[in-house]
Amino acid sequence: MFKIIVPDCQYGNITPDYIIKMYQEEDGGKNQDIDYILYKYIMTNQIKQLFITKKQKIPNALTIEIKELYDVLKKEERCMNIDITDDIFINYMYNCYIKDDTNIKDEIKEKYKSYKNIAKYADELPKSNIDYYEGSRKIKNPADKFADFMGSKRGAKVFTYHKRFNEWSWLDEDVYKQQFKQYKKLIKNKDIVIDKENNNEHILNDFKWYSLCIQRWDKEDDDYGEMTLCKGSIDVFNYMISGYVYYFQSKIDRDTAYNWLVK
């Protein structure tokens, strides 16, 4: 049978959901991590100020994160009667408690570059008018989630949609090469197939991505095996295809991977 090769995921250290869970402790007590949330809020505002100083558009993802952190902080008793949006408050907290920390300026610069990366690849993604829910909890629009994901790109050049966790994931070169070694064995055994006609080009925010799709083969029926559609590909690229889809930043890398797998 087809062996599922699960990509490794990379996640940011703190997500809005994690922040909310930290706040809503089971015992109903005060959030012991609220100081860290305040730190994150001050830092994101410093990053925002860097965009303002450079007269650059503030990325949507940065604005969203500041709002989410603000919403959590305003539930905290210590913050309820303070205007935490005031520049004087933000600068005071930064200068007194954060500015002199080791490597703090480097961290701000790195985060600034990360948010620029988000804006470059995903700020103009079309947003759906549909509200998405997991049970009774409203979740982020796919375009917003993909924008967050693009912010963690760093040096990675390949990404895929993780069907088990319903998340996009970046793959380091050694990770996807290891997966492809296993795929190559499965292709030789005709457990899976990679069709050249599924090697496509996708344009997103004027950037091109090159896809390669892994699909299951049913030897008994001598036909494609049943597989679910790739939800991530549909949400972001409007690309309706079943199987496991890998997106490469370089066409040469995609073609090299394909030729190596099928030779």
Looking at residue 3, its pLDDT comes to 31
Instruction: Give 198-237 as a DSSP string.
Output: G--EEEETTEEEEEEEEEEEETTTTEEPP--B-HHHHHHH
Looking at residue 16, its pLDDT comes to 41
Kindly report the CA angle at 73 between 72 and 78, in degrees rounded to 5?
145
CB 146 within 8 A of CB 121: no
SS3 percent helix, strand, coil of the chain, rounded to 5, is 45, 15, 35
Looking at residue 251, its pLDDT comes to 95
> The tokens of 112 are what?
């600034």
Tell me, what amino acid is at 206?
A: D
pTM over 0.75: no
Looking at residue 125, its pLDDT comes to 61
Indicate the domain borders of the chain: 33-148, 155-262
Looking at residue 135, its pLDDT comes to 60
CB 223 within 8 A of CB 178: no
Looking at residue 89, its pLDDT comes to 86
pLDDT digit string (tens) for the chain, length 263 residues: 233 333 333 333 334 444 445 445 444 444 456 777 888 899 999 999 999 999 988 887 788 888 888 888 888 777 777 888 888 888 888 888 788 777 788 888 888 888 887 777 766 665 655 555 556 656 666 777 777 777 777 778 899 988 777 788 888 888 888 888 888 888 888 888 899 999 999 988 778 999 999 888 888 877 777 778 888 898 888 898 888 899 999 999 999 999 999 98
